[in-house]
Amino acid sequence: LAHAKQQERPLFFYEEKNHQDLSDEWMEMSLRKALQNKEMDVYYQPQVKTHSGEVHKVEALVRWQHPDYGVISPGVFIDAAERFGLIMPLTLQVVEKVCLQLKEWRKTAASIQRVSINLSPLHFEFVDANCQITDLVHRHGIPPEMIEWELTETSMVENLQQMAGQLLELEKEGFSIALDDFGAGVSSLTRLQELPIHTLKLDKHFMNKFPGSDKKQQVIQLMITFAELSGMEIVCEGVETKEQLDALRKMNAGFIQGYIFQHPVPASELKYSFTEGRDMTL
C-alpha cells in the first residue's frame, strides 16, 4: 500500500492549468504542514576548484522530504512558498540546517570553508529579513565568512539603490554575496561593479552547445575575464561533459559546479576532493 501511495502524486506535479486552484490549496496546506514538521532538508553540491579538483565551497539546495511523495525539488514549491508568504520561514529552516551542518563540518571536514545559500528575490522586500538570517547565523556561532548569499539578477532590477544598501550591510557582517544565474537576465556590467558582489555564477544556459563554435567560447571567455578584472570569483554552473570541463580549464575558469563532478547530495554523500586520477580524468 505504501508503495502504491508513493507513485500516486498530486495533480500539481503535472502542472495542469485547470487544476491550478485545487493544487494551490493542496500546496499551501502541505507547505505549511511541511514547515511545521520541519520536512525541509538540504542537499549540497560541490563547487570544484577547476585546476586542483579541491572542494572548499558547496551550494545548499533545498529538498522537501515529503512523508508520502518522497524527495520534491525546489522548482516545484519555491514559487508557491513565495506566493503564500512562506518564503521567510523556509529560508530560515534552510539557514538553520546549514548552520548545523557547518558545525559538523568544522569538526570533521576541515576542507569545507563556505556554503552558499539561495535567497528569494522577495527576501529583500522584508525589512527585517537580513537581521533574521544574520541573528540566526550568530546564534549558532558560525562565522559569517563561512556563508555566501546567492541572489539572482531579478532581485536587483527593481530597486538597485535599496538593494545596494542591504548588500553592503551583509558584506559588513562578513558574509559574501554571489550573483546567481548570471547572464540569464539583464544586468548592466557597469552597475554590477557598483555592488558588493564577490562571486559570479555563470548561468547554466551558457553550457548549451558549449564548447561548440568559437563565438560561444569567446562569450564565456569574456565573462571569465570580466569577473577576474572586477575582482570576483567565477563559478561555471551546469557543466556536464568532459569536453566542457577541458575547455573551461583552458580558459582559466575558477570553479566548476555541475553533474560532471557530483549532483546535489545529502551531506553524508558529498565528495570533498576530485583530485584522484580517476575523477579528474573523467
Binding interface with Mg ion (CB under 5 A): 118, 150, 180-181, 237
Residue at grid coordinates 495533480:
11
Q: Give me the long-range contacts of 242-250 (CB less than 8 A, separation at least 24).
A: 242/282, 243/211, 244/207, 244/210, 244/211, 245/282, 247/210, 247/211, 247/217, 248/50, 248/220, 249/50, 249/51
Site string for ligand C2E, 196-235 (x = CB under 6 A): --------x-------------------------------
User: Which C-beta is closer to ligand C2E: that of 18 or that of 81?
Assistant: 81
**Nearest distance from C-beta of residue 138 to ligand C2E, angstroms:** 20
* DSSP β-bridge partners for residue 150: 118, 178
Residues 95-124 that bind ligand C2E (CB under 6 A): 118-120
Q: Identify what 53 binds: Mg ion, ligand C2E, none; CB under 5 to 8 Å per kind.
A: none
Residues 158-187 that bind ligand C2E (CB under 6 A): 180-181
**Nearest distance from C-beta of residue 246 to ligand C2E, angstroms:** 15
> How wide is the angle at C-alpha 111 spanned by C-alphas 107 and 112, nearest 5°?
80
Q: Which region among 24-32, 73-81, 135-143, 171-179 touches ligand C2E (by CB under 6 A)?
A: 73-81
**58 closest CA partner among 221, 235, 216:** 235
User: Which C-beta is closer to ligand C2E: that of 214 or that of 239?
Assistant: 239
Q: Are 215 and 250 in contact (CB under 8 A)?
A: no
**Nearest distance from C-beta of residue 83 to ligand C2E, angstroms:** 13
**Nearest distance from C-beta of residue 172 to ligand C2E, angstroms:** 23
**Pairing status of strand 199-202 against strand 176-182:** parallel
